[in-house]
Amino acid sequence: MTVPTLEIQSLTLGLKGGARLLRDVSLSVKPGEVHALVGESGAGKSMIGKAVLGVLPPSVQTLSGSINLQGNQLDALSPAARRQAVASVASLIPQDPLTALNPSRRIGPQITDRLIKRLGWKADDAQRRALELLDRVRIRDPQRVMASYPHELSGGMRQRVLIAAAFAPRPKLIVADEPTTALDVTVQKQILALIRELQQQEQTAVLFVTHDMGVVAKISQRVSVLFAGKVMESSDTADIFSHPKHPYTQALIMATPRYTHPDEALRPVPAELIAQLQREIAADDRGAAHVR
């Protein structure tokens, strides 16, 4: 049995004011596996990625649970040690290619900086690796792009650069935070193909955050469905689409329009289902509070 790259157990996050953002979330990601986190806005899917990378907003506290990344129990480490442990092993593909790149620096240093400064690579090696990756994301003139500024590139190209930057340090885990949400649908397909290709070649584990069930079906092998910070259902992607067990999963799938079934009525997630789930969650919260 393979040791998972990432193992999250019973993670509960909350705001200082008391509201819960994640409720008892558990999941694991194996090497080379793409695990999708799907849910609507506010479901907490981005929070999980941020918790793993250690970039939660200061107002969010970990109330309970643990995160184990590549054998390191992250919560047991000091903040500095934790940053080092994460930096050597994990990367992020962010959502917005526009704001993720520094507009006043060239592309090259933005890729190689982390390799040289954080991971101690030699400048030549870093340069070579950056060029190699720019080539693998099918950028035609890697040298020119290395010397360019972000605003000189199109949105699709910037996202490719960010993918190259994420894979450059040979991470064991990549957190992809809605990397295709801001892109055109044809560009999205290309980007998904690239992520898949690189991930399979390097056997990188990927935590893929998205709100789109269609993307989940295409890119992931396992999926966790989130609602109000809680995992509703977690299983193999193939199973979830053939036999979704949880009513919320079913509702999400049915609410996604399909051009192949034009006469299917659009079915929003039923209000009664939402209300029922909320009642259950509120009851769980109260129970947990009593235990404390």
Q: Do the bridges between strand 90-93 and strand 222-227 make them parallel or antiparallel, or are there none, so unpaired?
A: unpaired
d(CA 246, CA 225): 9
| Position among 56, 77, 98, 269 found at the interface with other proteins (CB under 8 A) | 269
Helix axes 247-255, 271-291, angle to 10 degrees: 140
| Position among 218, 246, 247, 288 found at the interface with other proteins (CB under 8 A) | 218
d(CA 165, CA 19): 35
Element (H, E) at 270: none
Can residue 196 be called a binding residue for other proteins (CB under 8 A)?
yes
| Position among 216, 225, 231, 232 found at the interface with other proteins (CB under 8 A) | 216
| Position among 117, 118, 122, 138 found at the interface with other proteins (CB under 8 A) | 138
| Position among 1, 80, 266, 289 found at the interface with other proteins (CB under 8 A) | 266
Q: In the complex with other proteins, which residue's Cβ is closer, 163 or 168?
A: 163
What is the nearest approach in angstroms of other proteins to the Cβ of residue 2? 23
Can residue 145 be called a binding residue for other proteins (CB under 8 A)?
no
Which of the 8 DSSP states describes residue 96?
-
**The one segment of 1-9, 10-18, 85-93, 140-148 that binds other proteins by CB under 8 A:** 10-18
Q: In the complex with other proteins, which residue's Cβ is closer, 54 or 155?
A: 155
Contacts of 176 (CB under 8 A, 6+ apart): 92, 93, 195, 206, 207, 208, 209
Can residue 206 be called a binding residue for other proteins (CB under 8 A)?
no
Q: In the complex with other proteins, which residue's Cβ is closer, 132 or 264?
A: 264
Can residue 56 be called a binding residue for other proteins (CB under 8 A)?
no
How many residues are present in the chain?
292
Q: In the complex with other proteins, which residue's Cβ is closer, 125 or 197?
A: 197
CA angle 44–39–250, rounded 5-degree value? 145
Is residue 94 helix, strand or coil? coil
Question: Computed over its alpha carbons, how large is the radius of gyration of the chain?
Answer: 20
What is the nearest approach in angstroms of other proteins to the Cβ of residue 247? 13
Can residue 185 be called a binding residue for other proteins (CB under 8 A)?
yes
Can residue 246 be called a binding residue for other proteins (CB under 8 A)?
no
Max intra-chain CA distance, the chain: 61
